[in-house]
Chains A and B, each alone.
Chain A
């Protein structure tokens, strides 16, 4: 309640700011956008994180095939308020889908257990500062957005396929799926991270109150550990530490994403 009141007061204060008239008298903007992230194409894959990309396995018919995570989508909802033509403040709520390959398990008898890629859901809240050049009329036009937010990532609950094989590294090969593992990990694991983002965004007006947005965003996800909220019923097949490491590397790979969306100005 207190928080809601605070937000209302802040919004009222922003709207009372009469110094800047805004773009056709609009200073506020809400936007929805979709981001396209290409995890397999990123500069970190040239460094130590490249090793993770080779373990990525996906289901193809009744087999597990090696591949790479081509695209991850994210969905954003944001709000911003322009105080000046070249300065605005906003926030953004972000839901991000992810994929990562899982480390194989040595299950004895010279056999390894290979899992299909795990899916994740991430939720991030990012307050942003938005800057533009001298003659800009925020909320439209080209802007530089800088934000620091807090994000949580969970592995999505799902029956993941696995294969058992004597082969050590299934690179460029495929295995018949042995079975589906209903509870491969502890689903209560929540990885935390601080997200630092920079986005170069362009909002092109298509009317006095609507814009089409596009931009390139760079993220750095700094791991902040993980928590387990519930005591697991069963011992997970893969250790929490291992899953956490995989999530960390996945988050590192999400360096850049291309965003496309629309905004409503008011």
Chain B
């Protein structure tokens, strides 16, 4: 019976640890919300202040310290990038258990979370929170390396390095960067040393210590080094990319162990390795464990982290890196829908950035290219605009053809056609009707005077050619009359696409839409300046008339800006609750249903937290890609969310307040000197000094499009009734139709 129970337990554990990489979705929080996420920052700050720092800091400096760290860390906790209870966080916690098995009190103090970021990093805070990035996990080669990083971070915490660094800065305000660097490097070496002992006590193999430094040294490169074969983009015989588009020789990796670290916070790798040698020599007892929690588990979790790296690359428009990391992962997961979606999004993103002439945003400069991934950066940098457009069409079309029933791919395909109809200089008549391979064969046949049967993809009816047809045909790529030019490869890339009925139908629809917009623009341009201004005004007023009956709202960001700069964080945070209440009231009054997703508190549900994270990631992606209409990276999850709430419209808002006299110091001084005149002018400035701005944007999670945006600028303080009334007006506007 016991055996059966154990078996059941084992099976359930194995099942719960399984990851469906073919249908992977981004990491999300699991379980009950930890207090770190639910407690208000000012409460944490007051608690910390009551304990004190036991340092030489004054009361005011302590307040600055605790306010700074609590708000900075809570900003991160609520950013949508930190997850808990997921497979990776659980794994990190298990390693921490192992490291601190002899120190249960310390273990209780520490909390470990996963941070979704491509930076190869881990860091601990003065509050006892350790963040480990997915970027770090994607790069390491064993559990032991992660354990060493954690041991290093735990040492930072036990030695109170965050507080000490703050105290050092406060007491040495005039210190140079070099001096600060020396101080910081000492702390790092100390954490390295202390970490080694903890690491050894846990039974890990000493081999992992120095190899961890290699991970750090090459962390700026993608997580693997595999040459991209020249035929990687060749999906069928249409595709040919000339060798000139790839680097003739490999880009060397420039990382230097002994780089100048005189201005760095961390010592260079050579120094750290040398110091580690001394620390390792002192310890006599070493274990042999590299992956005591299981190699398969480590590999699985690392692959999850690598999938996150792909997602992060797509989200941040690092499309060359995205293509490279997809290429790396595709080998092991050829059937992954996730990778397929990321690939389609990447090609769409490349097309969009190409259309706004911002390729520099998505690829590296040649001088910064290193390693195997350089070939993709090189390709995207070298290829001409028109050729790249056709290449993007080719790639997305292939994905669409292979997965015609996939909703996401279908939408990306539509977006691609819309993009070329609206923004590209793509001309379908300039595209060749035969593939590159066929064209090449024809050329060789003409050259050798041997007739070759050519199968055009299009069903064109052959008619007797007139003189004029003959002239035109000279320009037709079907007719190879001169030496075959392989640099014209893009002409032959999409012969099947230009006759595809879905493609043509969509292209016609979007071209017609674009034509009507252009016509309207021409009519607009023909108006007088006054008429144009009037129309613009109407347009602005209609911007938020979306006819909404319901929408999701991500709790507004409240920014009470200080006169001298910066944000009054405590005041801003305390106002959140009031603003939420007023927004709820406004929603009820206006008859628009609002599903508010607030910053979590003790009563919050983890699902609401997850949804909030998803929506924060979504808006961040849109903000990063503000030049283009980016496709939502978490489209599938967002679709689920919109189904759940019955609306795909999400409102993001910012309420900001600042008191500003709006006059220079000189004018202020003059007003005071010439008091009798100044007393006429100065009160006006004082009375009108309050500036309140409410900004909002409504995004569609199904498309990523901005549905509407608006700004309310007022001369008002941060008054709850005023804010409530303004939201009421805005909600009425959102409800009304154009």
A residues within 8 Å of B by Cβ? 21, 23-24, 38, 41-43, 45-46, 85, 133-137, 140-142, 200-202, 204-208, 214-216, 218, 255-256, 258
Chain B residues 507 to 562 lying within 8 A of chain A, measured CB to CB, are: none
Query: B683 at interface (Cβ–Cβ under 8 A)?
Result: yes
Query: B10 at interface (Cβ–Cβ under 8 A)?
Result: no
Which residues on the B side are within 8 Å of A218 (C-beta)? 680
Name A255's contact: one of B680, B712, B722, B725 (CB within 8 Å).
B680
Q: Is A41 touching B721 in the complex (CB atoms < 8 A)?
A: no
Q: Is B680 touching A135 in the complex (CB atoms < 8 A)?
A: no
How far in angstroms is the closest Cβ of chain B from A88? 15
Q: Is B687 touching A135 in the complex (CB atoms < 8 A)?
A: no
Closest chain B residue, CB of each to CB of A22: B725
How far in angstroms is the closest Cβ of chain A from B638? 31
Q: Is A141 touching B680 in the complex (CB atoms < 8 A)?
A: no
Q: Is B688 touching A142 in the complex (CB atoms < 8 A)?
A: yes
Q: Is B714 touching A205 in the complex (CB atoms < 8 A)?
A: no
- Whole-angstrom distance between the alpha carbons of A43 and B679 in the complex? 9
Q: Is B714 touching A136 in the complex (CB atoms < 8 A)?
A: yes
- Whole-angstrom distance between the alpha carbons of A52 and B683 in the complex? 26
Which residues on the A side are within 8 Å of B679 (C-beta)? 38, 41-42, 256
- Whole-angstrom distance between the alpha carbons of A218 and B690 in the complex? 21
Q: Is B676 touching A256 in the complex (CB atoms < 8 A)?
A: no
- Whole-angstrom distance between the alpha carbons of A218 and B681 in the complex? 11
Which residues on the A side are within 8 Å of B732 (C-beta)? 21
- Whole-angstrom distance between the alpha carbons of A215 and B684 in the complex? 8
Which residues on the A side are within 8 Å of B726 (C-beta)? 135, 137
Q: Is B722 touching A140 in the complex (CB atoms < 8 A)?
A: yes
Chain B residues 691 to 738 lying within 8 A of chain A, measured CB to CB, are: 712-717, 719, 721-722, 724-726, 728-729, 732
- Whole-angstrom distance between the alpha carbons of A173 and B196 in the complex? 89
Name B676's contact: one of A43, A85, A141, A208 (CB within 8 Å).
A43
Which residues on the B side are within 8 Å of A142 (C-beta)? 687-688, 690, 714-716
Q: Is B729 touching A200 in the complex (CB atoms < 8 A)?
A: no
6 cross-chain pairs, A with B, having the tightest CB-CB distances, nearest first: A205-B721, A142-B715, A216-B683, A135-B712, A200-B687, A43-B676
Q: Is A141 touching B721 in the complex (CB atoms < 8 A)?
A: no
Which residues on the A side are within 8 Å of B724 (C-beta)? 24
Closest chain A residue, CB of each to CB of B710: A135
Name A204's contact: one of B676, B680, B713, B719 (CB within 8 Å).
B719
Query: B19 at interface (Cβ–Cβ under 8 A)?
Result: no
- Whole-angstrom distance between the alpha carbons of A201 and B309 in the complex? 55
- Whole-angstrom distance between the alpha carbons of A215 and B690 in the complex? 13
How far in angstroms is the closest Cβ of chain A from B600? 30
Query: B645 at interface (Cβ–Cβ under 8 A)?
Result: no
Q: Is B725 touching A135 in the complex (CB atoms < 8 A)?
A: no
- Whole-angstrom distance between the alpha carbons of A153 and B700 in the complex? 65
- Whole-angstrom distance between the alpha carbons of A136 and B722 in the complex? 10
If the complex has contacts A137-B729, A142-B688, are A46 and B676 also in contact, measured as CB distance less than 8 A?
yes
How far in angstroms is the closest Cβ of chain B from A236? 34
Which residues on the B side are within 8 Å of A133 (C-beta)? 713-715
> Which of A43, A45, A201 counts the most chain B CB atoms within 10 A?
A43
**Could you name 16 residue pairs across A and B whose Cβ atoms are closer than 8 Å?**
A23-B725, A24-B721, A38-B679, A42-B679, A43-B680, A133-B714, A135-B712, A135-B726, A137-B722, A137-B726, A205-B721, A207-B721, A214-B687, A216-B683, A256-B679, A256-B680
Q: Is B716 touching A141 in the complex (CB atoms < 8 A)?
A: yes
Query: B283 at interface (Cβ–Cβ under 8 A)?
Result: no
- Whole-angstrom distance between the alpha carbons of A41 and B677 in the complex? 9
- Whole-angstrom distance between the alpha carbons of A184 and B722 in the complex? 54
How far in angstroms is the closest Cβ of chain B from A38? 8
Q: Is B728 touching A24 in the complex (CB atoms < 8 A)?
A: yes
Query: B675 at interface (Cβ–Cβ under 8 A)?
Result: yes
Which residues on the A side are within 8 Å of B716 (C-beta)? 141-142, 202, 204
Name A141's contact: one of B675, B722, B729 (CB within 8 Å).
B722
Which residues on the A side are within 8 Å of B715 (C-beta)? 133, 141-142, 202
If the complex has contacts A136-B714, A141-B722, A205-B719, are A42 and B676 also in contact, measured as CB distance less than 8 A?
yes
Closest chain B residue, CB of each to CB of A40: B676
Q: Is B725 touching A137 in the complex (CB atoms < 8 A)?
A: yes
Closest chain B residue, CB of each to CB of A142: B715
Closest chain B residue, CB of each to CB of A255: B680
How far in angstroms is the closest Cβ of chain B from A43? 5
> Which of A45, A140, A207 counts the most chain B CB atoms within 10 A?
A140
How far in angstroms is the closest Cβ of chain A from B672? 13
Q: A140-B725, A214-B687 are in contact. List 9 more A-B contacts (CB 8 A).
A: A41-B676, A45-B676, A134-B713, A135-B726, A137-B722, A142-B716, A200-B683, A200-B684, A202-B687
Q: Is A41 touching B675 in the complex (CB atoms < 8 A)?
A: yes
- Whole-angstrom distance between the alpha carbons of A23 and B724 in the complex? 10
If the complex has contacts A41-B676, A204-B717, A256-B679, are A24 and B687 also in contact, measured as CB distance less than 8 A?
no
- Whole-angstrom distance between the alpha carbons of A121 and B472 in the complex? 97
If the complex has contacts A41-B679, A43-B677, A255-B680, are A141 and B714 also in contact, measured as CB distance less than 8 A?
yes
Closest chain B residue, CB of each to CB of A132: B715
> Which of A133, A205, A218 counts the most chain B CB atoms within 10 A?
A205
How far in angstroms is the closest Cβ of chain B from A12? 25
How far in angstroms is the closest Cβ of chain A from B625? 29
How far in angstroms is the closest Cβ of chain B from A48? 14
Which residues on the B side are within 8 Å of A206 (C-beta)? 721
- Whole-angstrom distance between the alpha carbons of A228 and B717 in the complex? 50
- Whole-angstrom distance between the alpha carbons of A3 and B676 in the complex? 43
- Whole-angstrom distance between the alpha carbons of A42 and B726 in the complex? 38
Closest chain A residue, CB of each to CB of B717: A204
How far in angstroms is the closest Cβ of chain B from A106? 32
- Whole-angstrom distance between the alpha carbons of A202 and B684 in the complex? 11
How far in angstroms is the closest Cβ of chain B from A193? 20
- Whole-angstrom distance between the alpha carbons of A214 and B719 in the complex? 15
Closest chain B residue, CB of each to CB of A214: B687
Which residues on the A side are within 8 Å of B676 (C-beta)? 41-43, 45-46
